[in-house]
Structure 1
Amino acid sequence: MDTQHVVDLGDLGDRLIRDPHPVYARLREQGPVHRVRLPGWDDPAWLIVGYDEARAALADLRLAKDTSKIGVTVLDQEMIGKHLLATDPPQHTRLRGLVTRAFTMRRVEQLRPRIQQITDELLDEMLPAGRADLIGSLAYPLPITVICELLGVPAMDRAEFRTLSNEVVAPTSEQTEYEAVVRLGAYLTELIEDKGRSGPTDDLLSDLIRTTAEDGDRLSAQELRGMAFLLLIAGHETTVNLIGNGVHALLTHPDQLAALRSDMSLLDGAIEEMLRYDGPVHTATYRFAAESLEIAGAAIGRGDHVVISLTAAAHDDERYADPHRFDIRRDTRGHLAFGHGIHYCLGAPLARLEARTALATLLNRAPGLTLDGTPGAWLPGLLIRGMRSLPVRW
């Protein structure tokens, strides 16, 4: 493999966002690691498109997350604060330990009846019309309501928050991204200060404020803001697109939809296949080489950016036979939709619970569910994979 050749992905236009799998398949034919120029990036980066290499890289601590080590500042870290996706051990170990004391499996399980109630209320409102945009009517409002209630965020302007959140994960310009981060930072600072003054309440953010380790360690105000930012954004954006992409996969594969309707015990496996087939995270978040290393013959220098494509890894035919086929009975074990290693998604159990509740209830209450026109454009950028709208009828 010629590791010096740089593939300019900007030359592909919107193909990498609209239909990435043929692009990645052609790259994989030449090797699992490529030197590329990403749209909007000034410097080349290394792109990993092979499953085995992606899984190993996700767990390789030589690929670091704290950009301050190489003198680089990232907008959300500078304006908001450090969080789990922007730190390495031992800081990451400390932060995750404090967060997992409050964000427990027991807390997630306690949300089950409320998630069902919210789903039912959204469908009560949606179903009488006979048609709707599934993203705006169910896939977005369910997880944003759940995460706001979980964190103890007051009933805010959800439409405005959606705009700000979309600008953070799929920015339309550097200016709008900057403005969104500034506004979210100011909102979260005020929210945390209010909770600190108001006394104990039974929500996750209040618990994070109070949480103390055995040695007396606690989250600082900046760390609290960073964690609230991460939990709010990551806590709903991925689930929105898990539900949206998953329903889209079912509706474009009627044989699989029919199989699921006839045997709803296949639902858990279907959700894992949705995560593999068209997962909500296109590429893992920012990493760089803290030291020189080699991946599949590619000599990666210290400070080089490394981008791990979860979408590409999920369609590697060395790992999954006939990977472009959507098959709800497939053995999906080992898929990387929630990452791997120390940065494995803390909210994976909550995302699965919300998706399972939404899909089971939707399929039960909307017989004849089908597409009602062309889905909206895919979100820009290479972080989140999802559609702006999904018109359906029943």
Structure 2
Amino acid sequence: MSDRMGMMVTRAFDWTDVEFDLSDVNFVTDREAGERWLGAPRPVCPGRFSDGNDVYVVTRYEAVRSLFADSRVSNHPPEGVHLDSMRKRGVPEELLKYFDSTIMTMVPEDHRRVRSLIDRAFSVRRVRTLRPRIESLADDLLDRMDPAGEADLVADYAHPISTTVICELLGVDDEHRDRWLKWTEAFTTFVRPDPVLLPPALRGMVDTVVKLIRARRVEPGDDLISDLARISDETGKLDEVELVALVLVLVQAGLDTVRHSISLSFYNLLTHPDQLELVRTQPEHTVRAVRELMRYAGPIKMALPRFAAEPIEVDGVTIPKDGQIQLVVGAANNDPERFADPRTLDVTRSDNPQLSFAAGDHYCPGAALATAETEIALNKLFARFPGVRLVADPEEVGPRFLRAVSRLPVRLA
């Protein structure tokens, strides 16, 4: 913003009156708060992260897209900041090393080194080879449903698809899979985790991954954990802590995010019958529909925190060096300056450069796989049960601001 003389005016924030408070459970779960933030994004405003730290909240599409690609913005926190945040969240001291320097918070050179080891596993070509397995899995799950009865599309469909696909890709044994959901839910929360549930969940996650890596070293399989363990041993491109941390991130992201992506897609189509009919009758266009569903109300509302490596000016606000930045992807995806009629779900929308998978060097490596799983899940269900309908109050089961749907009861015919 400029004054009448054309000089830039820098706005200062009153940090005692934040507009975006992730430390407040009511803000996190309030649907009206979410609609305000998604439907009327502010350029930059003062906020508070879940650990109580001040954060510069950025919501406009162009600013969010630009900062994703800005070399002055780093995913790597200033010294000690991330460790302090993890301690505040209740991560046990002996496990901090596995959660402090993950692929999502590494310095750029380390991020590129580790990212190069997994890109091939999630490439578009690899996803094509996985499609028959995903389709077969969806068919098997649908076979188990009573055509004349009811089902829960989260527990009976979205969760088993996301869990099975990522666990088979990585090489997580069947016996460990059911535990991951509870472990992940105890950790991936925007409010302070339960101090009773979190430590055993994290210990279970780490112990399981360590045992899996040890087992794959003895008896390698055709899976990503075996490949990463071999690379670690033969080339030294991954140390042991990085290897464990990488597997933890991949399991969490592949299970939790995809499960919510599929569930939210079903919820929003079931509550928009005209859009559901378009997807059901035009399955060849489901990929476009998935992009719109991700834009409209995908599971990723916010990116991981970023930090200013040097002072950065955004819409007249100077973010100081080491200032924490929160990019609100959900608001950017609903910015009326970028998307026509953004609060309308339109599965035929063609101009749709949504930012749900981030952008730049940290673009989600699993984007193609997540899209394929969601697309196949939708097409398979609607082809098998074209009359599927929600049998619960949409307000009761619907998502809150930063919470996805936990159940989705439907009648199949």
State which of 383, 390, 394 in structure 1 corresponds to 2:408: 390
Match of 1:276 in 2: 295
- The question of whether the paired residues in 2 share the 8 Å contact of 1:371 and 1:393 is answered with yes
Match of 1:156 in 2: 175
Match of 1:61 in 2: 71
Could you tell me which amino acid in structure 2 is paired with residue 181 of structure 1? Answer: L
Equivalent-residue separation in structure 2 for 1:390 and 1:57 (angstroms): 36
Cα–Cα, structure 1 residues 160 and 13, in superposed 2: closer, same or farther, change >3 Å? same
Match of 1:187 in 2: 208
Cα displacement (A) at 1:332: 4.3
Match of 1:51 in 2: 61
Cα–Cα, structure 1 residues 209 and 158, in superposed 2: closer, same or farther, change >3 Å? closer
Cα displacement (A) at 1:377: 5.5
Instruction: Render the CA deviation track for 1:135-187: whole Å, top value 9, x for unaligned.
Output: 00101110101111111111025442211111121264244333322221111
- The question of whether the paired residues in 1 share the 8 Å contact of 2:151 and 2:409 is answered with yes
- The question of whether the paired residues in 2 share the 8 Å contact of 1:84 and 1:343 is answered with no
Cα displacement (A) at 1:393: 1.1
SS of structure 1 residue aligned to 2:144: helix
**Is 1:91 matched with 2:104?**
no
Equivalent-residue separation in structure 2 for 1:177 and 1:59 (angstroms): 34
Cα displacement (A) at 1:379: 7.0
Cα–Cα, structure 1 residues 131 and 254, in superposed 2: closer, same or farther, change >3 Å? same
- The question of whether the paired residues in 2 share the 8 Å contact of 1:27 and 1:49 is answered with no
Equivalent-residue separation in structure 1 for 2:203 and 2:303 (angstroms): 23
- The question of whether the paired residues in 2 share the 8 Å contact of 1:79 and 1:185 is answered with no
Q: How many residues align?
A: 387
Match of 2:26 in 1: 13
Runs (5+) with no aligned partner, structure 1: none
Cα displacement (A) at 1:294: 1.3
State which of 329, 339, 347 in structure 1 corresponds to 2:348: 329
**Is 1:197 matched with 2:204?**
no
Equivalent-residue separation in structure 1 for 2:224 and 2:115 (angstroms): 14
Cα displacement (A) at 1:112: 1.2
Cα displacement (A) at 1:211: 2.9
Match of 1:78 in 2: 96
Cα displacement (A) at 1:8: 4.2
Match of 1:247 in 2: 266
Cα displacement (A) at 1:27: 5.7
Instruction: Render the CA deviation track for 1:246-290: whole Å, top value 9, x for unaligned.
Output: 111111111111222222222111111111001111100122222
- The question of whether the paired residues in 2 share the 8 Å contact of 1:79 and 1:181 is answered with no
Equivalent-residue separation in structure 2 for 1:296 and 1:16 (angstroms): 29
Cα displacement (A) at 1:126: 2.2
Q: Which shifted more, 282-291 or 348-357? A: 282-291
Equivalent-residue separation in structure 2 for 1:288 and 1:264 (angstroms): 41
Cα displacement (A) at 1:15: 6.7
SS of structure 2 residue aligned to 1:24: helix
Cα–Cα, structure 1 residues 3 and 41, in superposed 2: closer, same or farther, change >3 Å? farther
Equivalent-residue separation in structure 2 for 1:380 and 1:329 (angstroms): 26
Cα displacement (A) at 1:244: 0.8
Equivalent-residue separation in structure 2 for 1:71 and 1:258 (angstroms): 48
Query: Residues 332-347 of structure 1 correspond to what in structure 2 (within 5 A)?
Result: 332-347=351-366
Report the TM-score when normalising by structure 1. Answer: 0.90
- The question of whether the paired residues in 2 share the 8 Å contact of 1:172 and 1:380 is answered with no
Match of 2:197 in 1: 176
- The question of whether the paired residues in 1 share the 8 Å contact of 2:306 and 2:326 is answered with yes
Query: Residues 228-377 of structure 1 correspond to what in structure 2 (within 5 A)?
Result: 228-374=247-393
Report the TM-score when normalising by structure 2. Answer: 0.86
Cα–Cα, structure 1 residues 280 and 257, in superposed 2: closer, same or farther, change >3 Å? same
Identical columns (%): 33
Cα–Cα, structure 1 residues 18 and 265, in superposed 2: closer, same or farther, change >3 Å? same
Cα displacement (A) at 1:356: 1.2
- The question of whether the paired residues in 2 share the 8 Å contact of 1:374 and 1:391 is answered with no
**Is 1:210 matched with 2:230?**
yes
Cα–Cα, structure 1 residues 227 and 264, in superposed 2: closer, same or farther, change >3 Å? same
- The question of whether the paired residues in 2 share the 8 Å contact of 1:314 and 1:336 is answered with yes
Cα displacement (A) at 1:46: 0.9
Cα–Cα, structure 1 residues 21 and 273, in superposed 2: closer, same or farther, change >3 Å? same
Equivalent-residue separation in structure 1 for 2:351 and 2:399 (angstroms): 25
Match of 2:128 in 1: 109
RMSD between aligned alpha carbons? 2.5
SS of structure 2 residue aligned to 1:132: strand
Q: Which shifted more, 65-74 or 130-139? A: 65-74
- The question of whether the paired residues in 2 share the 8 Å contact of 1:49 and 1:309 is answered with yes
Cα displacement (A) at 1:366: 0.8
- The question of whether the paired residues in 1 share the 8 Å contact of 2:134 and 2:165 is answered with yes
- The question of whether the paired residues in 1 share the 8 Å contact of 2:20 and 2:47 is answered with yes
Instruction: Render the CA deviation track for 1:22-68: whole Å, top value 9, x for unaligned.
Output: 3226763xx41111134x43222111111111111112232222225
Equivalent-residue separation in structure 2 for 1:61 and 1:112 (angstroms): 36
**Is 1:3 matched with 2:22?**
no
**Is 1:141 matched with 2:160?**
yes
SS of structure 2 residue aligned to 1:90: helix
State which of 150, 153, 173 in structure 2 corresponds to 1:131: 150
- The question of whether the paired residues in 2 share the 8 Å contact of 1:47 and 1:309 is answered with yes
Could you tell me which amino acid in structure 2 is paired with residue 210 of structure 1? Answer: R
Could you tell me which amino acid in structure 1 is paired with residue 278 of structure 2? Answer: A
